[in-house]
Amino acid sequence: MAIFEGAGVALITPMNEDLSVNYNKLEEIIEEQIAGGTDAIIACGTTGEASTLTVEEHLDAIKRTIEIVNKRIPVVAGTGSNSTETAVEFSKEAEKYGADGVLVVSPYYNKATQNGLIKHFTSIAEGIDIPVILYNIPGRTGVNIEPETIAYLVNNVENIVGVKEASGNFSNAIKTLRLCPQIDMYSGNDDQVVALMSIGAKGVISVLSNVAPRQTHEMCKAVLEGDIFKARKMQIEALDVINNLFAEVNPIPVKAAMNLQGKNVGPLRLPLTPMEKAHEEVLVKAMKEYGIL
């Protein structure tokens, strides 16, 4: 059984003005997500600024998230690293804290070969008993996890069960589903949720859910219930907001959007910088038209 079906939020990490992690605000936004119908919390991924968190902050944010959620919905911990040893240790700690699964990005910068990816992901999975979701995002990592590699891992490593597919390559997504139809695939792109779910994906790991949890949940629910016309309409209605949430590198726009909503999630850590005013003005317009501002 999948860790979750529907809309999982790729949760931001709120900061205080001094750039420390704001754990009080973390609890507040998690409660808002659960109240909004979100089907799972994904902690400390790209959207959670994991790359600029210290080791202690990263693990503490995962632990606190699991404690706050308290088994009400699944929590998937972002534990990826370009160091296999680090990813193994992070994953072991997440399991110890009670995570329902881990999301593991392909190694960035060192750009492993497909054989290296197999050894990397296998080492992580063999170090834990909870499910592993691979994260394929070549635009950030510089390497694509090929369908054959994903299929090998899913077919040969018991607890590698899924993939967050953010390559935007539908042909590869379809090939992956043909090679391992049992895989739990999640869209990693908010503008492609309905399209990927229509070919067999279980849902989305979503940036949009940070600002529109109910809408994202309902869109996924419509597909799961077979109402493709409703889902398609919702996907199209959300398009301008989604495009503006990626007008600059994630999570710059989504944090700006949440602050515009009055959620006061704080600043970004360098090298991320505040959203440019011209982009923010267009984002405001899109959010107003979508009804979330």
96: number of CA atoms within 13 Å, CB side? 10
Q: Is 149 annotated as a binding residue?
A: no
Q: Which of 126, 113, 127, 125 is nearest to 163 (CA)?
A: 125
Distance of alpha carbon 152 from alpha carbon 85, whole angstroms = 22
DSSP string of 91-114, one letter each residue: HHHHHHHT-SEEEEEPPPSS---H
Beta bridge partners of 133: 103, 162
Q: Which positions are catalytic?
A: 135, 164
The conformational region for residue 6 under phi > 0 = left, psi -120 to 50 = alpha, else beta, is: left
Pairing label, strands 203-206, 101-105: unpaired
Q: Is 47 annotated as a binding residue?
A: yes
Measured N-to-C along each axis, helices 55-69 and 23-35 cross at an angle, to the nearest 10 degrees, of 40
Name, in order, each residue with C-beta under 8 angstroms of 164's C-beta and a sequence gap of 6 or more. 103, 133, 134, 135, 136, 137, 186, 187, 188, 205
H or E segment and range at residue 197: helix 193-198
Indicate the Cα dihedral angle 281, 286, 288, 293, nearest 10°.
-80
Pairing label, strands 160-165, 184-187: parallel
- Residue 156's alpha-carbon distances to 121, 126, 237, in angstroms, are 11, 11, 40
Q: Which of 215, 187, 214 is nearest to 203 (CA)?
A: 187
Name the binding residues for pyruvate. 47, 205
